[in-house]
Structure 1
Amino acid sequence: MSLPVSVADKAEKARRPGFGARLLRSRETGIIAALVLMVVVLSIIEPDFASTDNLLNDARNFSFVGIVVLGQAMVMITGGIDLSVGSVWGLAAVSSAAFMAMGLGTVPACLLSMLIAACFGLFNGLCVTKLRMPPFVPTLATMSIARALALVVTRGKSIDEFRPYDDPFFALGGGDSFGLPNPFIIFVVLTVIAWIVLNKSVYGRQLYAIGGNERAARLTGLDVDRLKISVYVISSVLAAIAGIIEVSYLSSAISNQGLGKELSVIAAAVIGGTNLNGGEGTVIGVFVGAVILEVLRNGLVLLGTDAYWQGVFVGSVIVLAVFIDQLRKGFWRSR
């Protein structure tokens, strides 16, 4: 005998976790709390940290890495990883400046640089899907190739004066709108788009399905290869966008732009709760992860910490973030 609808509904509601429980289970809660704690402590220890100029400078700085993290997170959600983003970032930066120095217009130069980056992403995706290579193999190769091409373009020299001093292009990375740095505004807009794609679209659900169980995703009829290729292309294009914006900010391009940034990008994604094995990760998480990474770096600088030790602190935070996430999962599974 079935229960009346009203009684069944009440029983179902009783079994559902309350808002507080859902909040504690959320992986974003921990990293947001960590960010708030870091900001409060740094503001007390070093008052200059909370100054408007410093916070706006932080917002500009973490936006470059943040833009790339959005694409890296999509790759990681499918169970992959893209080690080439730092080099593609640098190649797009120097190629866009070189194209403009050759007399090409700003928009065509930027689009052509993004197309070059997309080709790297396509190559990575094809190697992973068609040649069945582990993701780190082709992306490690393209990391080397892109960096070498950046050196070929620049010949080890910086590219300066590729646009007139008052050209609007320089406002893209160095200007402000509504009192906020333009790179931060671009990062926020791209974050909103990424959130909609991952949470409100069929495409986003398919990416999570692949990362959760690729074999099951194939059996259900998903075009896994096409989807995987697409995320590598997106990752490379976003890396190119970050490189172009950084060139606009610096008003100069050098071959080592983006050098080592792949580590910062992966670190921000991991700190933000993206699972290296795929199937888990949120846009809000990676956004906060990118902010935490820059807040930590900026705080260490203001506290006078030796620059050589910064990598030690960042690495420790990554391990701590993963450890805490594992504790959270184990705790709630035991409930």
Structure 2
Amino acid sequence: MNAALDDAIKQETHSLSSWIMSRPAFWVFLAAVIACLVLTALTDTFATPQNLFNVTRNFAFVAIIALGMTVVIISGGIDLSVGSTLCLSAMVLAIVMNAGFGLATGTVAALAASLLVGAINGFLIAYIRIPAFVVTLGMLSLARSIAMVLSNNRMIYQFGPDEKALFWLGGGSTLGIANPVIALVILAIITGLILKWTRWGTWVFAIGSNQHAALLTGIPVRRLKVSVYMFSSLMAGIAGVLEAGWLGGVTTNLGQSMELSVIAATVIGGANLMGGAGTVFGAVIGAALIEVIRNSLTLLGISSFWQGAFVGSFIILAVAFDRLRADPELED
């Protein structure tokens, strides 16, 4: 009796450990932990409270946008316009607050502009059937151009009567934790619950796995796609509001090339570019690993020019690993 129970426990433990080790996010998490330990040993500055505060705050912006990108990639799409959407959101916020309106009004206007970008992307992709790559690549230029027109391509650094509240929201802290990190945790929990426990989340995985089958089962694929791209833009808009408060000023080059980091974080975290797979935890850990790498390059005195090489290499390795894991025949 005891032997049978012991065997059952061992089998269950083995199954759980095998499941954990088969998750890409686990290996990314392990890599991030190892990188932190190595940097702590090699430098005197990495493990300082101020540097850790900066690292967590800096990666929070990318991770928040990666939440939306994860949902898009799970659905089988891609969004190249998130960096420009962040810029447009921050610029709308800055213009509205500079005109004398409060933080609440500015935030509503900024997020409304972001949702509009997502709705346009989703409509063109779902109803006009233009490839997501083409639509969002065009929106990358269009959204930033609109930000330039609205601001006359000038920096805005005065935010009216609620300026201090905005600066606290994006650049302040609560109980020693940067406010953007707290926002990330809340948004990650909400996104994870939505994907796991709602019909909407189930449908997102369904259309990413097999869109034709999803259509046959009665899933409103077109409307769902529009909502997916609106969700992605909303996350970019929230990050734009927070980053405006952190930087204390908004320029039209804000968020430039951020798409690469966001997609890298999502893919490194285990999202499948073919659709149907991805996790919130993976996106957050992927963003954290990228920021740790960037911070390590700075602390070790390595040229920042190498950052793009590291990020690009991680994307290729992550996708290659995923392809080999999904199709063992490729190893032959």
Verify same fold: TM over 0.5: yes
Answer whether contact 2:102 2:161 (CA < 8 A) is retained.
Answer: no
The letter of the residue matching 1:269 is T
Q: Secondary structure of the equivalent of 1:48?
A: coil
1:228 is aligned to: 225
Q: What's the TM-score, normalizing by structure 1?
A: 0.92
- Find the aligned partners of 1:192 and 1:333 in 2 and give their Cα distance: 36
1:25 is aligned to: 22
The letter of the residue matching 1:273 is G
CA RMSD of aligned residues (A): 2.2
Q: Which piece of structure 1 moves more, 318-327 or 89-98?
A: 318-327
1:254 is aligned to: 251
Change (3 A) 1:109 1:41: same
| Consecutive unaligned residues in structure 1, runs of 5 or more | 1-6
- Find the aligned partners of 2:11 and 2:57 in 1 and give their Cα distance: 46
Q: Secondary structure of the equivalent of 1:252?
A: coil
Instruction: Indicate the percent of aligned positions where both proteins have the same amino acid.
Output: 42
1:194 is aligned to: 191
> How far 1:328 sits from its partner (Å)?
3.7
The letter of the residue matching 1:71 is G
Does residue 46 (structure 1) correspond to residue 43 (structure 2)? The answer is yes
2:118 is aligned to: 121
Matches within 5 A, 1:206-217: 206-217=203-214
- Find the aligned partners of 1:225 and 1:107 in 2 and give their Cα distance: 32
- Find the aligned partners of 1:17 and 1:207 in 2 and give their Cα distance: 31
- Find the aligned partners of 1:116 and 1:166 in 2 and give their Cα distance: 21
Answer whether contact 2:99 2:160 (CA < 8 A) is retained.
Answer: no
Q: Which piece of structure 1 moves more, 105-114 or 176-185?
A: 105-114
**Match among 259, 263, 278 for residue 260 of structure 2:** 263
Matches within 5 A, 1:135-154: 135-154=132-151
**1:185-226 superposed Cα distances (whole Å, 9 cap, x missing partner):** 000110000110111222111110110000000000100111
- Find the aligned partners of 2:194 and 2:241 in 1 and give their Cα distance: 23
Change (3 A) 1:172 1:332: farther
1:63 is aligned to: 60
The letter of the residue matching 1:281 is G
- Find the aligned partners of 1:18 and 1:331 in 2 and give their Cα distance: 21
Change (3 A) 1:331 1:43: farther
- Find the aligned partners of 2:324 and 2:330 in 1 and give their Cα distance: 10
- Find the aligned partners of 1:254 and 1:201 in 2 and give their Cα distance: 38
> How far 1:317 sits from its partner (Å)?
1.6
**Match among 274, 279, 284 for residue 276 of structure 2:** 279
| Consecutive unaligned residues in structure 2, runs of 5 or more | none
- Find the aligned partners of 1:166 and 1:110 in 2 and give their Cα distance: 12
1:307 is aligned to: 304
Q: What's the TM-score, normalizing by structure 2?
A: 0.93
The letter of the residue matching 1:37 is I
> How far 1:329 sits from its partner (Å)?
3.8
- Find the aligned partners of 1:133 and 1:59 in 2 and give their Cα distance: 37
